[in-house]
Amino acid sequence: MDFKADRQPVGEKIRKAARAGQFYPGQVDAMKQAIAQHMAVGRLHAGDEQPQFRRAVMLPHAGWQFCADTIGKTLARTTVPKRVIIIGPRHTPGGPNWSVACHDAWDIPGATVPIATDWAQYLAKTVPGLQCEPQAHRVEHGSEVLIPFLHHLNPDIAVLPIVIGHARYEDIELLGQALASICDQCQQNDGDRPLLVISSDMNHFAGEPENRRLDHMALDAMCSGDPKKLYDTCINNDISMCGMIPACIIMRALLEQSPALRPQLIDYCNSASTTGDESSVVGYAGVLLD
């Protein structure tokens, strides 16, 4: 894989911002101001803890008014390298069940972010069922709401958005291995490993006490470092953590490289803290995976 972060994007292959003005501010100045405010909250929360390289993080992907402080608190403890792979759930019916972005670049307000096209081609050739195509990404927000934060922390990044729909646990092994191979080759070539990002919200639409209970059941399983435990906990308890499969994939990739995995919960909240409505909430969490 010969990755070239300075490849010039082709116009018709640029994925235009689809959710700006909905999930996050659509105007450049307003977006940058919001990011600065949320990152300031994150740095205050981090205290004396300095940003450092993390093998992976989990970040929520709802509207910024609900979860951007959690994003900021997590990224305030994280350095962002020049390459980032984001895996999120499939929220829309367009495109195949498993998809890696085929674009040359993605637009966000005020910037065009290169896509790691060589990695996309490698993964599509290596992982059966993973298609390199645009439709699943056309209006998908799982990566889009996070890219402005990542670009703010490293304007030289290239990203690779991946969308994952339904999967059994046994289906994820090859993608985990392929991601581990990418990380290993980057380490060998230049020592600059990519950051793996799990894009996920937590349980959806239970009352606040029950939603919180289910969320912490899933987070406790995740923080055990065992992806199969996370999978079984969510399936057996009907926990609608939308990025559970992406989380299992990235945890599997990390375990391919090291038998020790120590996830750390950084922040948890739910939509009731924004809306005041506790009758039906969605949970959000930030996790570091080292």
CATH code of the domain covering residue 92: 3.40.830.10
* Range of weakest confidence among 3-7, 92-96, 139-143, 286-290: 3-7
Would residue 17 count as lying in a domain? no
Rounded average pLDDT over 192-204: 97
Q: What is the model's pLDDT at position 6? A: 36
How far apart CA 279 and CA 205 sit, in angstroms, is: 8
Give residue 63's domain range.
31-289
* Tens digits of residue pLDDT in 31-67: 999 999 999 999 999 999 999 999 999 999 999 999 9
Q: What is the model's pLDDT at position 8? A: 38
Site of tokens 């050739």: 125
Rounded average pLDDT over 199-218: 98
Would residue 110 count as lying in a domain? yes
Would residue 9 count as lying in a domain? no
Do residues 249 and 127 lie in contact, with contact meaning Cβ atoms separated by under 8 Å?
Answer: no
Q: What is the model's pLDDT at position 188? A: 87
Q: What is the model's pLDDT at position 1? A: 39
Q: What is the model's pLDDT at position 217? A: 98
Q: What is the model's pLDDT at position 10? A: 38
Is residue 77 packed enough to be buried (19+ CB in 10 Å), middle (13-18) or exposed (0-12)? buried
* SS3 assignment for the chain: CCCCCCCCCCHHHEECCCCECCCECCCHHHHHHHHHHHHHHHHHHHCCCCCECCCEEEECCCCHHHHHHHHHHHHCCECCCCEEEEEEECCCCCCCCEEECCCCEEEECCEEEEECHHHHHHHHHHCCCEEECCHHHCCCCCCCCCHHHHHHHCCCCEEEEEEECCCCHHHHHHHHHHHHHHHHHHHHHCCCCCEEEEECCCCEEECHHHHHHHHHHHHHHHHCCCHHHHHHHHHHCCCCCCCHHHHHHHHHHHHHHCCCCCEEEEEEEECHHHHCCCCCEEEEEEEEEC
To the nearest whole number, what is the mean pLDDT of the chain? 94
Would residue 65 count as lying in a domain? yes
Would residue 82 count as lying in a domain? yes
Which DSSP symbol is given to 162?
E
Domain count within the chain: 1
Would residue 179 count as lying in a domain? yes
Q: What is the model's pLDDT at position 12? A: 55
Q: What is the model's pLDDT at position 191? A: 76
Q: What is the model's pLDDT at position 190? A: 76
Would residue 43 count as lying in a domain? yes
Q: What is the pTM of this model?
A: 0.95
Would residue 220 count as lying in a domain? yes
